[in-house]
Chain A
Amino acid sequence: MTPERPKVAVVTFLGSLDDHDALWALGALDAEAQLVWHAETELPQGTSAVVLPGGFSYGDYLRGGAIARFAPIMDAVIEFAKAGGLVLGICNGFQILCEAGLLPGVLIRNASLSFVCRDVLLSVERTDTSFTSRCEPGQKLRVPIKHGYGNFTGSEELLAELEQKRQVIFRYEGDNPNGSLNAIAGVINETGNVMGLMPHPEHAVDPLLGSPDGALILASLVDAARERRTALV
Protein backbone atom coordinates (compact mmCIF):
# COMPACT_ATOMS: atom_id res chain seq x y z
CA MET A 1 0.00 0.00 0.00
CA THR A 2 1.33 3.44 -0.86
CA PRO A 3 1.48 5.70 2.15
CA GLU A 4 -0.96 8.55 1.97
CA ARG A 5 0.35 11.83 0.58
CA PRO A 6 -0.48 14.55 3.12
CA LYS A 7 -1.68 17.89 1.83
CA VAL A 8 0.82 20.67 2.33
CA ALA A 9 -0.14 24.23 1.42
CA VAL A 10 2.63 26.50 0.12
CA VAL A 11 1.63 30.17 0.28
CA THR A 12 2.55 32.51 -2.58
CA PHE A 13 2.88 36.11 -1.41
CA LEU A 14 3.56 39.02 -3.75
CA GLY A 15 7.30 38.69 -4.09
CA SER A 16 7.66 35.06 -3.00
CA LEU A 17 10.46 33.41 -4.99
CA ASP A 18 10.87 29.93 -3.66
CA ASP A 19 7.26 28.78 -3.64
CA HIS A 20 7.79 26.61 -6.73
CA ASP A 21 10.99 25.08 -5.35
CA ALA A 22 9.17 24.26 -2.12
CA LEU A 23 6.27 22.81 -4.09
CA TRP A 24 8.61 20.64 -6.15
CA ALA A 25 10.66 19.49 -3.15
CA LEU A 26 7.60 18.59 -1.07
CA GLY A 27 6.13 16.74 -4.04
CA ALA A 28 9.36 14.80 -4.48
CA LEU A 29 9.16 13.88 -0.79
CA ASP A 30 5.70 12.37 -1.14
CA ALA A 31 3.50 15.24 -0.10
CA GLU A 32 0.57 16.52 -2.09
CA ALA A 33 1.80 20.09 -2.21
CA GLN A 34 -0.43 22.87 -3.41
CA LEU A 35 0.16 26.58 -3.97
CA VAL A 36 -2.20 28.92 -2.15
CA TRP A 37 -2.50 32.55 -3.26
CA HIS A 38 -1.97 35.23 -0.58
CA ALA A 39 -5.37 36.80 -1.25
CA GLU A 40 -7.23 33.62 -0.29
CA THR A 41 -8.91 33.69 3.08
CA GLU A 42 -8.98 29.95 3.72
CA LEU A 43 -6.52 27.09 3.48
CA PRO A 44 -7.50 24.20 1.20
CA GLN A 45 -9.63 21.60 2.92
CA GLY A 46 -7.62 18.81 4.49
CA THR A 47 -4.41 20.86 4.79
CA SER A 48 -2.03 19.05 7.16
CA ALA A 49 0.84 21.53 7.06
CA VAL A 50 1.60 25.00 5.74
CA VAL A 51 4.89 26.26 4.31
CA LEU A 52 5.66 29.96 4.01
CA PRO A 53 8.41 30.09 1.38
CA GLY A 54 11.38 32.35 0.83
CA GLY A 55 11.50 35.45 -1.29
CA PHE A 56 11.18 39.19 -0.90
CA SER A 57 7.50 39.72 -0.20
CA TYR A 58 6.57 43.36 -0.75
CA GLY A 59 10.19 44.15 -1.55
CA ASP A 60 11.15 43.78 2.13
CA TYR A 61 9.69 47.27 2.59
CA LEU A 62 9.62 48.47 6.21
CA ARG A 63 11.05 45.19 7.55
CA GLY A 64 11.29 41.71 6.03
CA GLY A 65 7.86 40.07 6.35
CA ALA A 66 6.22 43.10 7.96
CA ILE A 67 3.68 43.69 5.21
CA ALA A 68 3.10 40.07 4.16
CA ARG A 69 2.06 39.37 7.73
CA PHE A 70 -1.17 41.29 6.92
CA ALA A 71 -1.95 39.33 3.72
CA PRO A 72 -5.52 37.96 3.79
CA ILE A 73 -4.35 34.32 3.98
CA MET A 74 -2.40 35.04 7.18
CA ASP A 75 -5.53 35.07 9.35
CA ALA A 76 -6.17 31.49 8.27
CA VAL A 77 -2.51 30.54 8.80
CA ILE A 78 -2.51 32.08 12.29
CA GLU A 79 -5.74 30.29 13.16
CA PHE A 80 -4.30 27.00 11.80
CA ALA A 81 -1.12 27.46 13.87
CA LYS A 82 -3.01 28.37 17.02
CA ALA A 83 -5.07 25.20 16.62
CA GLY A 84 -1.81 23.21 16.61
CA GLY A 85 -1.33 22.96 12.84
CA LEU A 86 2.19 22.46 11.47
CA VAL A 87 3.70 25.60 9.95
CA LEU A 88 7.20 25.95 8.51
CA GLY A 89 8.63 29.33 7.52
CA ILE A 90 11.71 29.41 5.33
CA CYS A 91 13.79 32.61 5.10
CA ASN A 92 11.21 35.30 4.25
CA GLY A 93 8.62 32.87 5.65
CA PHE A 94 10.56 32.85 8.93
CA GLN A 95 10.51 36.66 8.97
CA ILE A 96 6.76 36.64 8.35
CA LEU A 97 6.16 34.21 11.23
CA CYS A 98 8.20 36.43 13.57
CA GLU A 99 6.31 39.54 12.47
CA ALA A 100 3.02 37.71 12.94
CA GLY A 101 4.03 36.83 16.50
CA LEU A 102 3.89 33.09 15.82
CA LEU A 103 7.62 32.81 16.47
CA PRO A 104 9.75 34.71 18.98
CA GLY A 105 12.38 37.27 18.05
CA VAL A 106 13.01 39.21 14.88
CA LEU A 107 15.39 39.09 11.93
CA ILE A 108 17.35 42.25 11.27
CA ARG A 109 19.92 43.24 8.68
CA ASN A 110 23.01 41.02 8.47
CA ALA A 111 25.84 42.30 10.65
CA SER A 112 28.01 42.61 7.52
CA LEU A 113 25.26 44.63 5.76
CA SER A 114 25.93 42.33 2.80
CA PHE A 115 23.56 39.90 1.19
CA VAL A 116 24.96 36.41 1.78
CA CYS A 117 24.42 33.58 -0.67
CA ARG A 118 26.32 30.36 0.00
CA ASP A 119 26.16 26.95 1.61
CA VAL A 120 26.39 26.80 5.39
CA LEU A 121 26.72 23.98 7.87
CA LEU A 122 23.91 23.70 10.39
CA SER A 123 24.08 21.82 13.61
CA VAL A 124 20.84 20.07 14.53
CA GLU A 125 20.11 20.93 18.15
CA ARG A 126 17.06 18.72 18.59
CA THR A 127 15.72 15.70 16.75
CA ASP A 128 12.52 15.30 18.79
CA THR A 129 10.50 17.78 16.72
CA SER A 130 8.11 17.52 13.78
CA PHE A 131 10.74 19.23 11.62
CA THR A 132 13.86 17.26 12.53
CA SER A 133 12.71 13.71 13.30
CA ARG A 134 14.70 12.30 10.36
CA CYS A 135 17.94 13.90 11.56
CA GLU A 136 20.50 12.25 13.83
CA PRO A 137 21.42 13.90 17.14
CA GLY A 138 24.37 16.22 16.57
CA GLN A 139 24.11 15.87 12.79
CA LYS A 140 25.55 18.62 10.60
CA LEU A 141 23.52 19.59 7.53
CA ARG A 142 24.79 21.40 4.47
CA VAL A 143 22.07 23.79 3.29
CA PRO A 144 22.29 27.08 1.35
CA ILE A 145 21.41 30.51 2.70
CA LYS A 146 20.62 33.63 0.65
CA HIS A 147 19.45 36.61 2.62
CA GLY A 148 20.14 40.18 3.66
CA TYR A 149 17.99 40.12 6.81
CA GLY A 150 18.90 36.93 8.61
CA ASN A 151 20.38 38.32 11.79
CA PHE A 152 18.25 36.81 14.55
CA THR A 153 17.90 39.10 17.52
CA GLY A 154 15.80 39.78 20.59
CA SER A 155 16.19 40.89 24.19
CA GLU A 156 18.60 39.12 26.51
CA GLU A 157 15.62 37.75 28.44
CA LEU A 158 14.11 36.33 25.27
CA LEU A 159 17.40 34.68 24.31
CA ALA A 160 17.75 33.14 27.77
CA GLU A 161 14.19 31.85 27.59
CA LEU A 162 14.69 30.32 24.13
CA GLU A 163 17.81 28.51 25.31
CA GLN A 164 16.20 27.36 28.54
CA LYS A 165 13.12 26.02 26.73
CA ARG A 166 15.28 24.44 24.01
CA GLN A 167 13.54 26.35 21.24
CA VAL A 168 16.71 26.74 19.17
CA ILE A 169 16.56 23.96 16.58
CA PHE A 170 19.41 24.91 14.22
CA ARG A 171 22.63 26.85 14.74
CA TYR A 172 25.25 27.90 12.23
CA GLU A 173 28.26 25.67 12.66
CA GLY A 174 31.61 27.45 12.58
CA ASP A 175 31.45 30.80 10.85
CA ASN A 176 28.32 32.86 11.74
CA PRO A 177 27.18 34.25 8.35
CA ASN A 178 24.88 37.04 9.55
CA GLY A 179 25.63 37.93 13.17
CA SER A 180 22.66 36.06 14.64
CA LEU A 181 22.71 35.97 18.41
CA ASN A 182 23.87 32.57 19.70
CA ALA A 183 24.39 31.64 16.01
CA ILE A 184 20.67 30.90 15.76
CA ALA A 185 19.55 29.68 12.32
CA GLY A 186 16.15 28.26 13.24
CA VAL A 187 13.69 28.39 16.15
CA ILE A 188 10.50 26.61 17.10
CA ASN A 189 7.52 27.89 19.07
CA GLU A 190 6.81 26.69 22.60
CA THR A 191 4.19 24.19 21.48
CA GLY A 192 6.47 22.70 18.82
CA ASN A 193 4.19 23.10 15.80
CA VAL A 194 5.66 26.24 14.21
CA MET A 195 9.27 26.48 13.08
CA GLY A 196 11.22 29.03 11.10
CA LEU A 197 14.72 28.88 9.65
CA MET A 198 16.81 31.12 7.43
CA PRO A 199 18.55 28.37 5.39
CA HIS A 200 16.69 26.87 2.43
CA PRO A 201 16.07 23.13 2.77
CA GLU A 202 14.00 23.19 -0.45
CA HIS A 203 17.15 24.05 -2.42
CA ALA A 204 18.98 21.04 -1.01
CA VAL A 205 16.93 17.94 -1.69
CA ASP A 206 19.05 16.43 -4.44
CA PRO A 207 22.81 15.73 -4.59
CA LEU A 208 22.73 17.27 -8.06
CA LEU A 209 22.01 20.63 -6.40
CA GLY A 210 24.98 20.34 -4.05
CA SER A 211 23.43 18.64 -1.06
CA PRO A 212 20.53 16.34 -0.21
CA ASP A 213 20.52 17.38 3.47
CA GLY A 214 17.53 19.74 3.27
CA ALA A 215 15.35 16.76 2.41
CA LEU A 216 15.76 15.53 5.99
CA ILE A 217 13.99 18.63 7.27
CA LEU A 218 11.18 18.64 4.70
CA ALA A 219 10.69 14.85 4.89
CA SER A 220 10.37 15.15 8.68
CA LEU A 221 7.61 17.69 8.13
CA VAL A 222 5.89 15.43 5.58
CA ASP A 223 6.08 12.51 8.05
CA ALA A 224 4.53 14.63 10.80
CA ALA A 225 1.85 15.94 8.44
CA ARG A 226 1.01 12.37 7.38
CA GLU A 227 0.72 11.24 11.00
CA ARG A 228 -1.63 14.09 11.79
CA ARG A 229 -3.70 13.34 8.72
CA THR A 230 -3.99 9.69 9.70
CA ALA A 231 -4.87 10.63 13.26
CA LEU A 232 -7.73 12.75 11.96
CA VAL A 233 -9.24 10.00 9.79
Chain B
Amino acid sequence: MKATVLVRPKAGIKDPQGEAVRGSLAKSGFDIVSVRIGRVVDVEVETSDREKALAELERMSHDLLANPLIESYEIELLEEA
Protein backbone atom coordinates (compact mmCIF):
# COMPACT_ATOMS: atom_id res chain seq x y z
CA MET B 1 0.00 0.00 0.00
CA LYS B 2 1.14 3.51 -0.71
CA ALA B 3 0.99 6.33 1.76
CA THR B 4 2.17 9.87 2.16
CA VAL B 5 3.44 11.19 5.46
CA LEU B 6 3.39 14.96 5.88
CA VAL B 7 5.79 16.27 8.50
CA ARG B 8 5.47 19.86 9.69
CA PRO B 9 7.23 22.01 12.28
CA LYS B 10 4.89 22.39 15.26
CA ALA B 11 3.36 25.77 16.03
CA GLY B 12 5.67 27.83 18.20
CA ILE B 13 8.81 25.96 17.10
CA LYS B 14 11.30 28.10 15.22
CA ASP B 15 11.65 27.29 11.53
CA PRO B 16 14.77 29.12 10.26
CA GLN B 17 14.27 27.72 6.74
CA GLY B 18 10.68 28.96 6.50
CA GLU B 19 11.73 32.31 7.91
CA ALA B 20 14.46 32.70 5.27
CA VAL B 21 12.06 31.79 2.46
CA ARG B 22 9.48 34.20 3.86
CA GLY B 23 12.07 36.99 3.76
CA SER B 24 13.04 36.15 0.22
CA LEU B 25 9.43 36.04 -0.99
CA ALA B 26 8.70 39.36 0.73
CA LYS B 27 11.70 40.90 -1.03
CA SER B 28 10.34 39.59 -4.34
CA GLY B 29 7.21 41.63 -3.78
CA PHE B 30 4.84 39.00 -2.42
CA ASP B 31 2.62 39.95 0.52
CA ILE B 32 3.71 37.19 2.82
CA VAL B 33 2.55 36.60 6.37
CA SER B 34 4.42 33.41 7.12
CA VAL B 35 6.11 30.40 5.57
CA ARG B 36 6.67 27.11 7.35
CA ILE B 37 8.61 24.33 5.70
CA GLY B 38 8.00 20.64 6.35
CA ARG B 39 8.68 17.42 4.54
CA VAL B 40 6.75 14.97 2.37
CA VAL B 41 7.65 11.30 2.68
CA ASP B 42 6.12 8.86 0.20
CA VAL B 43 6.15 5.35 1.60
CA GLU B 44 5.11 2.05 0.14
CA VAL B 45 4.53 -0.74 2.64
CA GLU B 46 4.33 -4.43 1.87
CA THR B 47 1.01 -5.11 3.57
CA SER B 48 -2.35 -4.58 1.89
CA ASP B 49 -4.17 -4.63 5.23
CA ARG B 50 -5.33 -1.08 5.94
CA GLU B 51 -5.24 -1.33 9.72
CA LYS B 52 -1.82 -2.93 9.76
CA ALA B 53 -0.46 -0.36 7.32
CA LEU B 54 -1.75 2.50 9.44
CA ALA B 55 -0.26 1.03 12.61
CA GLU B 56 3.13 0.61 10.92
CA LEU B 57 3.04 4.09 9.44
CA GLU B 58 2.13 5.56 12.81
CA ARG B 59 5.08 3.83 14.44
CA MET B 60 7.60 4.80 11.75
CA SER B 61 6.37 8.39 11.73
CA HIS B 62 6.62 8.70 15.49
CA ASP B 63 9.98 6.96 15.81
CA LEU B 64 11.89 8.20 12.79
CA LEU B 65 10.16 10.28 10.12
CA ALA B 66 9.25 13.04 12.55
CA ASN B 67 10.66 14.17 15.87
CA PRO B 68 7.46 14.62 17.91
CA LEU B 69 9.19 17.18 20.14
CA ILE B 70 9.20 19.69 17.32
CA GLU B 71 7.25 18.19 14.43
CA SER B 72 3.70 17.00 13.82
CA TYR B 73 2.80 14.44 11.20
CA GLU B 74 -0.19 13.39 9.18
CA ILE B 75 -0.52 10.00 7.53
CA GLU B 76 -2.45 9.80 4.33
CA LEU B 77 -3.14 6.29 3.06
CA LEU B 78 -3.64 6.29 -0.69
CA GLU B 79 -6.45 4.15 -2.06
CA GLU B 80 -5.32 1.21 -4.13
CA ALA B 81 -5.85 1.76 -7.83
Residues of A within 8 A of B (CB): 62-63, 66-67, 70, 99, 105-106, 108-113, 151, 153-156, 158, 179
B13 contacts chain A at the CB level, 8 A cutoff: yes
Stretch at the interface among B14-22, B28-36, B49-57: B14-22
* Chain B hits for A110, CB < 8 A: 16
Cα–Cα distance between A181 and B41 once the two chains are bound (Å)? 29
Instruction: Establish whether residues B16 and A108, one from each chain, have CB atoms under 8 Å apart when the complex forms.
Output: yes
* Chain A hits for B14, CB < 8 A: 108, 111, 151, 153, 179
Instruction: Establish whether residues B64 and A109, one from each chain, have CB atoms under 8 Å apart when the complex forms.
Output: no
Q: Which chain A residue shows the least CB distance to B41?
A: A62
Do A106 and B70 contact each other (CB < 8 Å), given the known contacts A62-B65, A66-B64? Answer: yes
Instruction: Establish whether residues A111 and B16, one from each chain, have CB atoms under 8 Å apart when the complex forms.
Output: yes
Instruction: Establish whether residues A106 and B67, one from each chain, have CB atoms under 8 Å apart when the complex forms.
Output: yes
* Chain A hits for B12, CB < 8 A: 155-156
Instruction: Establish whether residues A113 and B16, one from each chain, have CB atoms under 8 Å apart when the complex forms.
Output: yes
Task: Report whether over half of chain A's contact residues are helix, strand or loop; otherwise say mixed.
Answer: loop
Cα–Cα distance between A151 and B15 once the two chains are bound (Å)? 11
Residues of B within 8 A of A (CB): 12-14, 16-17, 20, 64-65, 67, 69-70
Q: Could you tell me the distance in whole angstroms from the C-beta of A89 to the nearest C-beta in chain B? A: 16
* Chain A hits for B67, CB < 8 A: 63, 66, 99, 106
* Chain A hits for B17, CB < 8 A: 109, 113
Could you list 28 examples of A-B contacts with CB < 8 Å? A62-B64, A62-B65, A63-B67, A66-B64, A67-B64, A70-B64, A105-B69, A106-B69, A106-B70, A108-B14, A108-B16, A108-B70, A109-B16, A110-B16, A111-B16, A112-B16, A113-B16, A113-B17, A113-B20, A151-B16, A153-B13, A153-B14, A153-B70, A154-B70, A155-B12, A156-B12, A158-B69, A179-B14
Cα–Cα distance between A99 and B17 once the two chains are bound (Å)? 20
Cα–Cα distance between A158 and B16 once the two chains are bound (Å)? 20
* Chain B hits for A108, CB < 8 A: 13-14, 16, 70
* Chain A hits for B13, CB < 8 A: 108, 153
Cα–Cα distance between A227 and B11 once the two chains are bound (Å)? 45
Instruction: Establish whether residues A179 and B16, one from each chain, have CB atoms under 8 Å apart when the complex forms.
Output: yes
